[in-house]
Amino acid sequence: MAVMLLLTGCQKSGSPVSPRVVNALADLPAFVDSCGIPVMQYCYFSPQGDIHEVLRHRDAAFDIAEPIDGQSIFQAASLSKPVFAYIVMRMVDRGEIDLDTPIATYTDIERFDDPEMARRLTPRMVLSHQTGLPNWAVSPSSDEWPASRIAFKYPADSCFAYSGEGYAFLQRAVEAIREAPLDAIAREEVFDRFNMPTTSYDWLPAYDTLALAGFNRDGENRGQGRHPRANCAYTLRTNATEYARFLQNALLKGEGLSKEAHQAMFTQQVNAQRYADRPRDCDSSVFWCLGFGAVNEDYYWHWGDNGNFKALWLLHPATKEGFVYFSNRATGHDLLYPFLKELTGKDLPLSDWILN
């Protein structure tokens, strides 16, 4: 029989968190257990205190050799994107890049099948997923990807179309402007600033022992999944404690940003109808800002999905609360329906938007 083991836990001094949150977090181990998630790290934070936990689903089916604790490293998947968006906004503040100047001003457009359309793409379109590009031309971890041809799915700036290719295009511009590789830029702008020493877009030597393996739905160990190159859209690795520092300080507080840039990040740019040819009820209240999503003007969020690694964060600026989790199995988002309702007390459309 599977059981749940609490490996680490701490709460900062301060007033107790709300009973609603306490109850939701108390039920989270059962949700993790029912989804068969080998390891989950999470952090809830508010002005009253932070709660950091690591939950492990104890089951002989999961062959986990790595030590499991609060330092364990997960693939953050698309939670890579908000970190990069913050870097871009820092550059906007300094006048190094402009949100509405074509990216082709800063870098080449050789991979695009339609150069004229590619010359229209701007950082704002990338950060709000309005480039009209596919998610990926081919698998971004393949040998073929760096030279693969990119065809537009939709006209630029015509609709929401979630795209890692757009982010990778903007990454090339950022690296050209700064004359430095992505991870060096991120370390200067984010990781060192917010005390995130084991967070990286590149593979760090410490990951040999800290990075967890991912498991598919059949419970098969698919390994740590090393990526061949740093990519701002999906290769970030981190843990819940370090990523929570980014969410609290960079996004909620806006540290390192002007008031205007911080406000711009939280300004809705487009209704996030996930499938252009298949509108759904859940799409009507989901929007995209500059680097992450919004539910009306209430909750802000981003999800991550690298197949066998799932992640999610949720911010509520009105109460300055936030939550982030990382998991290492393809079932990692199966708990979204019951857990998000308990955590927020609301029927948020995120579960439908993500899972359907």
What's the predicted TM-score (pTM) here?
Answer: 0.95
* Spatial distance between the Cα atoms of 91 and 140, rounded to a whole number of angstroms: 25
Query: Where exactly are the structural domains of the chain?
Result: 3-83+182-355
Alpha helices in 69-110 (DSSP H): 80-94
3-83+182-355 homologous superfamily: DD-peptidase/beta-lactamase superfamily (3.40.710.10)
In tens, the pLDDT along 278-304 reads 999 999 999 999 999 999 989 999 999
CB atoms within 10 A of CB 105: 12
Predicted pLDDT of residue 67: 74
87 — pLDDT class (breaks 50, 70, 90): very high
Report DSSP state, residue 192. T
Label residue 218 exposed, middle or buried (CB < 10 Å: 0-12, 13-18, 19+).
exposed
Q: Is the distance from CB of 306 to CB of 75 less than 8 angstroms? A: yes
What pLDDT is recorded for position 183?
Answer: 98
- Using CA atoms, how far residue 213 sits from 39, 70, 246, 309, 312, in Å, is 10, 15, 24, 9, 18
Query: pLDDT (tens digit, 9 = 90+) per residue, 47-71?
Result: 888 999 999 886 666 877 677 889 9
- Mean per-residue pLDDT of the chain: 93
Q: pLDDT for 299-350, tens place per residue?
A: 999 999 999 999 999 999 999 999 999 999 999 999 999 999 999 999 999 9
